[in-house]
Structure 1
């Protein structure tokens, strides 16, 4: 376009110049006309070329952006007025492509969510089915073990029956021994009653002896008081005899007889003092013995009290034994009834165990069938999970491709 337009202008100028030349223009005017024409043609050509270059550059840049994935661009009709007859169709195509990519991107995100849900559901179902399979295996194993245990239970029940018979015979022996223990307990209670009476008598006698010793101690203390008084009198008599002897010596021959009497009185006073000392020592010894006897009686009284308490405790123990024997006899009778009931229920237990064994065998067989079905379900679920994972990976790749397009 930039080349054709100047050529057309130059051709027109030459054509006009040739006409003017034929119209008898001078050569100078013709040259001037041609120079001006060439200048105008060059200016028009330069302006047109620059405008056209801007148009091509802008259009190329927008097309390059669209090629890189920027579908936010729409062509301006005013800007591209030279090709406005194709601008609208191009904009429509770009809008349709953008809307198509947006819809496809939204669909791919939905597919990602769906694939995640499918995988999560598959994993949950797989875990549940695995748990069911594990439970079914345990049920099958338990049913098989139960069947074996049921057979073993029959044998154990037979042995239990023998043990029941042994317990029943032992019960009879225990009942007999309990009766003997009851008799011995009665004898023990009688002996305890006799011992308690003897202890009471012993305590009474000890109390009387203790009272006598206390009275004796009081009497001895009185004697000690009397002896002390006698000793004081003897000391005073001795002093009086000494004074009398002194007075007799002063009297001379007239007081000689009185001096002899005073000497005899002094001698008797000394003897009385010595006797009172001996009596005092004897009384003191008796008093010490009385104190020792009192201490011994107190110890004896405490021992008697302890003995009485022991007798009371022994009596209570025998009563407790009697009560316990009563309870034991009652429990033995209850055990006897339970043993008789166990004997009657034994056959029913054996029949029930055999029925359990049969049902357990059927349960084990059914559990094995369920386990096989569960394994098939697990395989199908794994395939579905793998398919969902593959779909998710493909959608991720597609999203990565779509992300290079700019839509907003």
Structure 2
């Protein structure tokens, strides 16, 4: 900080007083010079005027004797000047006394007045051995000849005393005026310095971070008063601005903290969604495996249905032969019994095949239940992913679309699984009917064997049983054909489910990539939020400077 040599008050006082002092001295010197010269001129003019008056008065006093000085003494008492009447160039009457009566005027006066007929004035003429301010006026007769002179004079000493008194008076007045000017200048300097000090004090408080307005010199109507009021207005405005900045800093800090927390939550949510997507991918993989297994079981069902169809064809042919043999002769009873035994074995084989078909269908139904469960879980995961994507806002919009597509795929999987389940139920019903028919055929065959053992007369009943067997075989054949058709439908459904599973797996991979990108974006958002929080904290620390 610079060292303060002069205060503003001293500088202002010096600026105001020094010119006033110099001007006063210069005016005083000039005034003394001009006043002396002017007073001398005025004295001479007054003397000359008095001399003319004295000439007019004394011209009518022609009968006076030399030394009769009453008139001159009376004029001196009234005017303060000395008066002398010359008879020619010789003093006849004078207020100077009888000592000068009869003396002559100076040669220069005689030459100018008596001889030249002119007035004569001088500021330093010896009269009775004393320097005088003098004025001589010629007195002429009717012919124009100068016959007398009228003199008026005052001693130089008295004039100088009067000049000195005037100078002293002027000095006193000048010094009084200068003192008044100095007092006024000092008061003005004090007021101006006070106003500047008030401004400086407010600025010092402002430099310390305190908003303190000036409360003095506010009623001044000059630039300093305006500066004080403007300083107060500036402090008030800065106080308002700092208050707003402080509020904004607190708001930014709170918002940055909330943003950072939100970013962390979004990051956690994206991690959860990523885990859910991985689970979806695993479910899709598992679903594809289950579908593959179901497809293999469907192939087994197809093989079983083929065996059933083959067996029913053989059974149909055998029944025809049995009927033909029964109608031709009873000789065929032995062959019929053997055929009946073979038919019983075939029926057992058909029953076992249908049982395996039921078991395969049951396994397929269980797998379909697993597919339905996986589709439900996938749908739930898609819903959760959609919710989390909605929370993520614009950043999760792309993931929301992926989650919606996964939900649609899961719904389609569930619908197809339900269709498969319905087809399996129909297939189970047909298989049960086939088993029941096989049991009926077996039961009829046993009765036929018993009838063959009892009597040949039971051939007619056996023929009826054979007809019933043929009808049952037809039913079995129809059921086998239905199984074959259902097998094709199930195979098509398995292909569709396999395609859906592959799409689910691809969508899960795409979702995983999107979640990775979203996670990176959220991480950048978290970093930016932390930077914003650091900036807001620094702003708060800076605002702590202001009280």
* TM > 0.5 fold call: no
Say which structure, 1 or 2, has more relative contact order (CA 8 Å, 6+ apart).
1
Q: Which has the higher strand share?
A: 2
Q: Which has the higher helix share?
A: 1
The alignment's TM-score, normalised by the length of structure 2, stands at 0.34
The alignment's TM-score, normalised by the length of structure 1, stands at 0.44
